[in-house]
Every structure is written in C-alpha cells, then in structure tokens.
A and B are shown apart, each in its own frame.
Chain A
Amino acid sequence: MPAVSKGDGMRGLAVFISDIRNCKSKEAEIKRINKELANIRSKFKGDKALDGYSKKKYVCKLLFIFLLGHDIDFGHMEAVNLLSSNKYTEKQIGYLFISVLVNSNSDLISLINNAIKNDLSSRNPTFMNLALHCIANVGSREMAEAFAAEVPRILVAGDTMDSVKQSAALCLLRLNRTSPDLVLMGEWTARVVHLLNDQHLGVVTAATSLITTLAQKSPEDFKTSVSLAVARLSRIVSSASTDLQDYTYYFVAAPWLSVKLLRLLQCYPPPEDGAIRGRLTECLETILNKAQEPPKSKKVQHSNAKNAVLFEAISLIIHHDSEPTLLVRACNQLGQFLQHRETNLRYLALESMCTLASSEFSHEAVKTHIETVINALKSERDVSVRQRAVDLLYAMCDRSNAKQIVAEMLSYLETADYSIREEIVLKVAILAEKYAVDYTWYVDTILNLIRFAGDYVSDEVWYRVIQIVINRDEVQGYAAKTVFEALQAPACHENLVKVGGYILGEFGNLIAGDSRSSPLIQFDLLHSKFHLCSVPTRALLLSAYIKFINLFPEVKGTIQEVLRSDSQLRNADVELQQRAVEYLRLSSIASTDILATVLEEMPPFPERESSILAKLKRKKGPGNLHPDLDENRKERSANGGTADHSSTTSNAKSSPLSFVGDLLAPASTAPPTNRPRPVSSSYLLQAPLTPIPPQASAVPVLLSAGPLFQVAASPTPSTDLLGLGSTITTQNSAPPASKGTSLLVDVFSENIAAFPVETPVAVGPVADENFSRFVCKNNGVLYENQLLQIGLKSEFRQNLGRMYVFFGNKTSTQFMNFAASVVCQDTLQAQLNVHAKPADPTVDGGAQLQQILNIECMSDFVDAPVLNIQFRYGGTLQNVAVKLPITLNKFFQPTEMTSQDFFQRWKQLGAPQQEVQKIFKAKHSMDTEVTKAKIMGFGAALLDGVDPNPSNFVGAGVIHTKTTQVGCLLRLEPNTQAQMYRLTLRTSRDTVSQRLCDLLSEQF
C-alpha cells in the first residue's frame, strides 16, 4: 500500500492534531474541537467547490474528531464524493470514513454502493482491494445484498490478481458470517475448494478460513477439500524451512496456514481413503516429531508458532480418536508440557489432557501423569491453571484412583482459591458418590467436605448425602455416630447442623445405647447449635426434636419445655411458631402409638438423577462431563430401593393421618373449609401407591391437620428436604386431581344446572366418594368442588346425633338463594329422623355457613340420607347432592367385657342368620395399630386379651336405636402372609350384622 507521501501530507491535519495533544484540559480540547467543527462547517457550507485535497483534509479531521469520541453528524456527502476520486489517497480516506462512520441505514448507501460497484469493475487491483475491504468492514446486510453475487465471481475469476483474491475470500467470509442466507456458493463450490491448490500461499490461507466456515455449515459440499488439505499440509510439513520464503515464520513453515488446515480437517471424520489417511497420519507424526527436535531459535516466537501447530495437531488427533499410537504420543508430549516453565503451555496441556482422558485409548496414558497433576494443583501459582488441573483430575478419576484423587482434592480444598471452591466441592461430592465402594467412606468424605468448605456446599450436596444414608441401612448407624462426633466441634457449619439434625432425628436411636451419646446428650448437642442457625435450619431442628420425642420418650419433658418456651411458641417467624405450637400439641395429645405412626422413619427415596450432577451440568455446560457418568448412575438406580418396599411404608402412613385430623379438630378454632392451602405434597406423592380411591386422596386433610401432616410426615414447602416432593408432586398430582373430585364434580354441576328449577328435590347423581372415609371418623371434608366445600363435624350419643355441616364458599362472589335440605328416601324415612335447622340464604365470598342437623335413629337402617344443596352462583343455579355419612355404626356404644363374657355371648348368638362372615383381601397395609384405631373409630370397644391368638382383633358394642338395642360382637382375623382378612360379626339381628359387616370390611 503506498504510504502517504511527504508532499501529500496534510499540514492542517497535523497542526490540528498537535493542537489537540497540547490541550491542557478536557475543556480546552472541547473548545478547540468546536472551533474546528465550525470551521469545517463553514467550509462545507460554502458554495465554492472544494478541491479534492481540502475535502480529504477536512474529512480526515472529522474522522479524527469522531475517533476522539465526539459525535459527527455531517461530512458524509463529502466523503462519498471522495470515493469517485482517481487519487489513491483520497479514495482511501473516503472509504475509511465510510467504513467507520456510515451506518447501514443511511440514505447515502445507494451512492456508496454505486461507487463500490464502479471500483469492483475497474481493472485497478488497489481500487478493487479498497472496495472489498470496505464491504467487509461495513459487512451489513445491505452490503451483503448488493455484493453477495459479485464477490464470489471475483474470487474465482481466472484473471484476478492474487492480492485481490485474498481480499475477496476474506470479504466473502465476513459476508457469510453476517448474513449466511444471502451468500450462496452453489456453482462456485468446486472452484473455491480448488483454491487450496493455489500457488500463492496467501490465497490458500484466506481460502482455508473461508472453506472452514462454509464446511461447518454444509460439510457435504466441501468434502473434497479434505484430500486437498491433507496434500497441502503434507507439503508444508515436509518442506524445508526455507522453501516457503515469506511464509516461514521464525523457522516454522507457514504456521498460520498449518493451523487453519488442521482446523479444517477437524470439521470432518478421519478420511476413509487409506492413502490419504496414511498421509495425514504421517503429517501428524512429523509434527509430533518436530516437537521433540531441539528448537532452532531461542526466540519465543519460534516456540509459540511451533506449539500452536502442535496443539492444533493434538486436537485433531483427539477429534479423530482413532489412532491409539498417536493418542498416546500426544499424551506423552502433553505430559512433558505439564512441567514446562511457560504457564500458558501448562494450561493448554492440562486442557487438552482433559479431552484426552475421555478417550478410551489414552485414558490409561493420562492416568500415568496423576502425580504431576496433583503436584500442579499444589504448587501452581496461576489459579486458572489450577482450575484446569482440578478438571483433569475429575476427568481421569476412576475406581482405581478415586480414593487418592478425592483425598487430594479435599486436602487442596482447604487452601483453594475461593473462585473455584464451589466447583471442587461439587466434583468431590460426585466422585465420592460415584466411586464409593464403602459408604462409610462416602459419609466421611462429605462430612469433611462440609467441615472444610461449608459455605460452598450447596443444598444439593447435603440433600444427596441424606438420600443415600436413608436408602442404605448399613451406613445409618455409622452416619449417626460420625455426625454426632462432628457436631461436637465448637464451631460447626450450618450445613453440618442440618445434616446432623436430620440424621440424628432419624437414626439417633442407633447410637443412643452408648452412654456418651445418650438421648439427652444428643438433644443438648443439637440444641446448643440451635440459636446460631438460620430460620430454615431451626425449622429442621424442631422437626428433629419431635422425632426425638418419638425415638426417646425419656427426653419428652425436656423437649416440650424447649418447645413451650416463648422463643419458640411466640417466635416472630410464622413457620417456627407454627411448628412449635403443632409439635407441642402433637406431643402432648397423641398417644405413643399415634406418635410412632406419624413420626415414623422416612421411607427410602426413589432413585433418580443426582441433583449434584445436574447442578454441575448447569454450571459447566454439558460438554465437560464424563460420558460414562450416566450409565453408571443407571446401573446403581437399578439395585436401589425397590418400589414395593416403599409402598408399604407410605401406605402405613396414609391411614393414621385421618386420626391426626380427628385429634386436632376440637382444639382448632379454624373452620374446616376454605383454607386455600395446596394439598400436601407428600400426600399426593403417596396417592398412586395406595389403594385408597384416588379421589379420596386428592381431598385436603381436615382443618389444621393439613399443615401438621405436612411437617410431621414429610417436608413442608419451605424446607423441601432433598427437593423430592416438589418434582414428584408435579408428576403425580395431576392424575388423581383430574380423575377425582374436580372432573367428577364438573360433570355434576353441568347436569344439575340442566335440571328445571321447579324440581329441586329431584336428585341427580349423588356424590358419595368420601362416604366410606367417614365410617370410622366423624369429622372431615365431605365434598369439594371449585365453588363449594362441605365440611362435617358430628357427635353421636346412643340413638341421637348432631351433625354440624359447614358450607364454605371458595369463590369471591356471594352465593344467593342458598338452601340445603336432607332427604331420606323410602324406607329410610321411618328408620331415621333427620331434622335440619334452617340456615341463611346467602353465603358471602370466602365465608362459611354452618348448619346443624339433629339426627335420631328410630331403628336399624341401611341407606344413607342425601343432602341436597341449591344455590345461585353468578347467573346459574347450582345443585349439589351429597350422601351424608350417617351410618348405622355411628350409634354404636362400646361395651367392655371379659374374655369369659365375650365367648359366652358369642355362643349365644350362634344362630346361622345372626352371624355374617366375610373373607376379603387387604386393600391397605396390614398395620396393627391402624387396624386397632379403625375398630375403635368404628365404634366398638376393642377387647384385649380376649382372643387366644394375639394378632386377632375382637370388639363388642351395642347399637342404640329408638326402638331396640342390638348387641354386637365382632372378630377380625388378619392373615399377613396372604394379605387377607376374615371378619366375623354376630349380632342379635341379621340385617344389622349384614350392614355392619359391609361397612367395616370396606375399611381394610
């Protein structure tokens, strides 16, 4: 490029620039610039035509001012005029101004395009080059539209000069990057590929860049370039360093071209043609050999160029991943670099080794460098290199060296740079889990992890350790012991307290035998950390305490004292307060049996993807992970907790929940309806596992039992332990909800709305899905749809009963013309007397309406009365019919009797019509406590020590009706092996026997 000759120098520009440089302050500079701008404006404004020189000078000044950071909003026209000049310098300044200042949507663009077109079609190579540079520098869509067809033509034309070809290739590359859709190679492809054979190395270099980009887009079209590239590469590699003249850089032959060719080859798999393949292998070997040769120069440029080619060759070898010898050689070469003086080389070596480690051929070879890498981790000064060393250790880890690597990483963690600690923690956690042969080692490792770098241990890590401890019986005792010991340190990290609280709460009993870790000591230890912890941890600790009450009844007093203290019971935090209140209540009201069921050990977690791994993936992107990780996990999940095991435990838990509801109902002042609380996640989680009809399980638990159950049995949303509940809820909650209440009721409401208003008594389909749940209990939610929730609270004495029905308006608008009536059909009218007290005709949005029903049992009955509800919501009349759970057993009066009495009576009722027997399969798990509770809920007295077989249940009672009293004996014989029950009922009246048997057998 001809330099601006001295005679052509712009004195005015030089003076202006030196003025600016001499300005003492910013203000002075601005003043000078303003003055100059005014001068230029007046010059451009003048009607007299400026000559090319002064135009160039002023445009140059404007450009300088613009580059100083000031806005320029004129002079564009003058710059465009310069384009048509025949002088090189003027044209150059014009193009310069346009590439820097003209934005793509300028209205001058057509003028500019015209000028460029003229230059492109001129035969002058310098002008053509200027035009091509301008196109590439602006590179806008408009440019691409205008010249996408023109540039390739110049590129492949036979008579184009080499320097123009170079520019054209790079210009095309740029256009292809900005608007790939406009650059269509099509017919030019073959000729562009052929450029790789060009005599001029500059053209080849430019063309290689272009082809690499195009090949990434459409590999098929440029497949032929592989053989050409290999040929070219081998020619370069084998050439003597002096052959290439201008293109030899510090004794390295054409390093840039070599690197680009190697990159191009990385777009394709190894060549199939043996000859080409052999030639390529030869090239790569030569490059590796050259790396071994002593350097020809001590200059850093020489080694840089050589290593650049070498590293590119290694990444090609890794990309092909097919030649074991090459891979091993590459690995050895990198091993040498690991101890190189140059930090950059060490970094690059570690980085390349990471990828090498994932190849099956070189994995072993990489492992030989473990000592060096560990050394690098310890002694390296540059944190980014240390980071790579950690990556490499992670990548090279397998079963054989896991313990060593994890130990090294842990010891490094203490001194590690803060920026990479979290990542190391995640990696240690994953490696420890993945290669753990012995889970005590795993538990130790994670606890150490929390101790060394508690702040960097994310929730996922400690969730995971708990999941694993819970799912593996063999480590539970050890874990409890280790945690207990770890907690004795005066300062513990909060995460350790969390793990400790959880594990001791679950498995504290396993170490309670030792006098050094007696229950009280365990509790005191946990409680000593309580006040230093954040709210979620405290909440977790409270749950651990209530579990302690279950595990160790002897500390109940101490714990209740703690729960009762003002700092808990009146805590400003709602969550803590609620837990304290509910746990205290639970612990003082519930019997040990109920406590035992409510606070049972957590069921094993279903195996699923480790959340830690997911977190690491999120952190690093998918590329950096070991490919075999996933398989490994699958294999482990297969032998993890079995499905039937978990189903039995959770089954046991779903039934007592209704009793918890009963327990708390009288204590609570809150009405049973209208709590806009989401159904407990754990509850839904169990739904598909239990044989309870799905719709039943979708109904929220009565009253405050809902929240209580959430905390007692399983995590609340706020302390969603292990993040299990939330994900599973979303999977499982949908089917029962849609199958159950909501869908069903939707159908009803439409049907009922279609009924004529005049026949309100006409009963549509009667909702009775919750009916059976009320056989053994008196309170709860009977019915719920989008608008209305019906709750019940009832009490019975002898042949009389009173039922409180709560109608909760779930919407925000008022229900009008509300009316509820009880209908006893046919024979029932004579058997049962139900009197409903009238209630208000309106229910406000969000409010509740209470209605009292007085019930009198005249004689024994089979059917149940139906509650008809009518109201106007919005414009439509809604009609709901629900079966009221008034069953014969409600009028049961328990009778205590001795074994002798019982069998005497049993024999008295020996007539065949008086006995009803039923053998049926268990629908729920066969838990003794649950069964006992159900029989008591049914109304009969449970007689202990009556039956010679202790596993059988025996009950007695009297059914009161107004007319008669019916004595009633029952016997339930469970068969655990066959999962069957045999139920025998003997009463003085055959209809009663039949009815009671039907009712009771539904419950198991």
Chain B
Amino acid sequence: MIGGLFIYNHKGEVLISRVYRDDIGRNAVDAFRVNVIHARQQVRSPVTNIARTSFFHVKRSNIWLAAVTKQNVNAAMVFEFLYKMCDVMASYFGKISEENIKNNFVLIYELLDEILDFGYPQNSETGSLKTFITQQGIKGQTKEEQSQITSQVTGQIGWRREGIKYRRNELFLDVLESVNLLMSPQGQVLSAHVSGRVVMKSYLSGMPECKFGMNDKIIIDKAGKGGVTNEAGKSTSGKQSIAIDDCTFNQCVRLSKFDSERSISFIPPDGEYELMRYRTTKDIILPFRVIPLVREVGRTKLEVKVVIKSNFKPSLLAQKIEVRIPTPLNTSGVQVICMKGKAKYKASENAIVWKIKRMAGMKESQISAEIELLPTNDKKKWARPPISMNFEVPFAPSGLKVRYLKVFESKLNYSDHDVIKWVRYIGRSGIYETRC
C-alpha cells in the first residue's frame, strides 16, 4: 500500500508531503530528490527503487508527484491512483502548477485525507467528493444533509448522489482516439496501434440505467449467434465490426454483466467521466501518409523533400497539422519552400516545423528544404531521426462506431426518446512517425 505521497516543484522542493505509514521517513523525500529529480542522467523509468523503497512518479508540466512505498504494491494501481489524483486536483483548481498547488495546499491535504486512508485508495470520484469537500468551506449543513452525504459516500453507488434533477436530460459522448504509427521510408507499416477513450458528460435526472453499444466484433458475433433480433445488429453485421485488443471500464460499469452478456450497462456519474478505455491494433485507418526524400549533397549540404497525403473522405477536414522534420546537429542555415501552411526552422529544437491549419481528405501537399551544414571533426554520421507528425481528424481511426446508448429511468417519467444525445468522434495523433 502507498506509504506516503510527495509533490515537488521542478527544483525538487517539496510542496506537499503526506506520510501515511510509519515505514516511510522524511529521508525518503530527499532520496527521491537526489536520485530522481536531480539525477545526473535523466531518469526515464517511472518506478525507482532506492534502498528497498519504491518511488512511483508522474510528472505534470513542472510538477512531480511521487508515491512512496516499502511494500510490494500493485504498480498499476498506484499509477491509476496518481492519475486520478491529478484529475481530481485539476477539477478543483484547474491547471496543476506550482502556483496553484501553493495556493490550494489546505485543499490538497484535505483531499489526500479523503482519497487515501492508511495508504489504501478510497472513493476518488470528483462528483461525490465535491459534495463534501468544497473550496468555500462547508456552510451550515443540516443534520439531514450530512447524514445523506455519509450514506451516499459509504453506499453501494458512491459515485452518484440521489435526487438529481435536470430540466433537459442531455448526454454527450466523445470517442477520443490517438493513433500511433511507425513507418519505414518505403511506406511499410512497422508498428501501429490506436488507444482510445470513451468520455461521457451526462446531465440526467434521478438514477438512470444506461446501456452502451458499439461495433465490437465479439458483441456483434454474440448477438448474431444468439439470434437476438436487434435492428442495429442486422445493419452492421460483419465487415464494419472492429476487434478490440483490450479495454478497461469506469467503476460504474457492471463488470459481471459485461463478462456474461458482453453488454455495457451502468448507472452514470453526474457530469464528466471516462466510461472506457480500449486499444486496437488491426485494420487501422491511417489518416496521413508521409513520404520523405532526403539527399545529401556533399559534406555541407542536405536536401529534404517531404510529401504528405491525406487518406480519408474528402468531405472531412483534418486540423492542426504539424510536421516536424529533424535537422542534423551541425546545421548552420536552412531555406524552406512550402506550398501550403507555414514552415520554419527551429534551432532550439533542431527541427523544421511545418504547420498547416486545415486539410481536406484525399489531398496532398509538399515541402522542400535546403539545409547547410558546418563541417565538423566529428566522424559520427547523422542518425536520421524519424519525421513526426501531429494532427486532429473528425473520425475514429480504429473504425469504432457507437451503435446505441439507451437510457432507462423507471421512477421518473422520461424515457429514452426524451434524452438529447450528442456523439462526437475525434482522432488525434499519438506518436506518428515515419523514418527517413
């Protein structure tokens, strides 16, 4: 279990220090600073073992969060907790920065008391936390209200309180995906995968029961075999289903039901939450293709030509496109010509950065650059790092489709049809690289 939790600024000064167990001493704080934050070589592993003590850290901008333990804990659990902790803090006071943490340290200690008990993670659902941990201080609550909070927090459905009422029952559903790619110069895919999230924002009255369906292969196959006459099932049989490699769900999803019937049913928390996370590796739609061409002209000159092709429906528009072409370390001057967007040599990053605001499907664009080099006595050859790319497209590169999202509320008098539902797909680039 977690023995203590520390938050440091970029200099390694301790901002927050909360120790839960006696086996963690104050010297652990310094051990992490010396061995990780101030380490000579950048520490890349998120888990560091120093003198039989394990440190799990995540970094948010310039802030280090470190969980410390002497026991053999489930590392995945600790990281899940740390991420959750970041989310909770962000929902309370916005961006996690040194300034914000210093301004809210009382609140953070209060939160830490609530979400970790003797090192065991507790309810960390922002919605329910906000009912009793507020930044304004607790105004004179009646006894009834207090007991209601207690029963709700300790009850079976800790993530949703009762008696929520909305005039308009609305539901927003976002499918957010990031597509990762490594491609050879010849255009051969070396590795590709999509990691996606289904994020929901629900404004529903009462205690509704929701059911979510998508074009997962297993669910569809099951439905087809079982002979259940589902309209949606019929229309999307076969080719459009996708194979999900692995997925995780929010705590509100009934896992037993998923295991037995492959259906995702849940009572949603109020407000924004992440319903599920998943990963796919097959049949990925790659939104862009990068074709590099690098020619070395003598020792002091390099010619680079890069073509990008968009590979999706012409009606769709990709946004925020950025191509990053690395330059050799001995670059002394760069001339760039591009047809579309803006390109610039950024010396501080050793790269040419080419930005395009918008680009429709089935188009192509190109950039060419002349790089002047300074002869060096170093005989090392330039390692030619891959060209990387960033973009945003309005569809899911994994091919995931939402088939239905049904809402049942038996006690209140609104039905599935009365709920206004919004669905949005956003595909972003993860590490999207092409070797040159």
Interface residues of A (CB under 8 A from B): 24-26, 31-32, 34-35, 37-39, 41-42, 44-45, 71, 73-74, 76, 106-108
Contact = CB atoms under 8 A, between A and B. Distances in A.
Interface residues of B, number: 19
A772 B376 CA distance: 86
B376 A74 contact: yes
A41 B331 contact: yes
Given A25-B10, A26-B42, A73-B376, A41 B350 contact: no
Given A34-B347, A73-B330, A44 B10 contact: no
Nearest to B347: A38
Contacts of B372: 45
B231 interface: no
Contacts of B332: 38, 41-42, 44-45
A24 B377 contact: no
10 contacts: A24-B62, A31-B348, A32-B348, A37-B329, A38-B348, A42-B332, A44-B374, A71-B378, A73-B380, A106-B377
A108 B377 CA distance: 10
A1001 to B, nearest CB: 76
Interface string B266-295: 000000000000000000000000000000
Contacts of A39: 347
Given A34-B348, A34-B349, A73 B377 contact: yes
Given A24-B10, A26-B42, A45-B372, A74 B330 contact: yes
Interface in B355-382: 372, 374-378, 380
B374 A45 contact: yes
A41 B348 contact: no
B25 interface: no
Contacts of B380: 73
A24 B375 CA distance: 33
A21 B431 CA distance: 32
B155 interface: no
B330 A41 contact: yes
B281 to A, nearest CB: 31
Which residue among A37, A38, A71 has the maximum number of chain B CB atoms within 10 Å of its CB?
A38
B333 A25 contact: no
Contacts of B348: 31-32, 34-35, 38
Pick the 9 closest A-B CB pairs, nearest first.
A38-B347, A73-B378, A45-B332, A31-B348, A35-B348, A41-B332, A73-B376, A74-B376, A34-B348
Most chain-A CB neighbours within 10 Å: which of B333, B372, B374, B380?
B374
Contacts of A44: 332, 374
Q: Is the interface of B mostly helix, strand, loop or mixed?
A: loop
A390 B377 CA distance: 57
Contacts of A34: 347-350
Contacts of B62: 24-25
A34 B328 CA distance: 11
B10 A74 contact: no
Contacts of A45: 332-333, 372, 374
B333 A76 contact: no
A106 B374 CA distance: 18
B13 to A, nearest CB: 12
Contacts of B329: 37, 73
B370 to A, nearest CB: 14
Given A35-B347, A106-B377, 6 more contacts: A24-B10, A25-B10, A34-B348, A41-B374, A45-B332, A74-B377
A45 B373 CA distance: 8
Contacts of B331: 38, 41
Contacts of A76: 377
A24 to B, nearest CB: 6
Q: Which interface residue of B331, B347, B349, B375 has the most chain A CB atoms within 10 A?
A: B347
B376 A31 contact: no
B42 to A, nearest CB: 7
B403 to A, nearest CB: 44
Nearest to B300: A45
B325 to A, nearest CB: 15
A24 B331 CA distance: 26
A727 B353 CA distance: 74
A31 B377 contact: no
Contacts of B378: 71, 73-74
Interface string B100-142: 0000000000000000000000000000000000000000000
A117 B372 CA distance: 36
B37 to A, nearest CB: 10
B375 to A, nearest CB: 8
Contacts of A26: 42
Contacts of A74: 330, 374-378
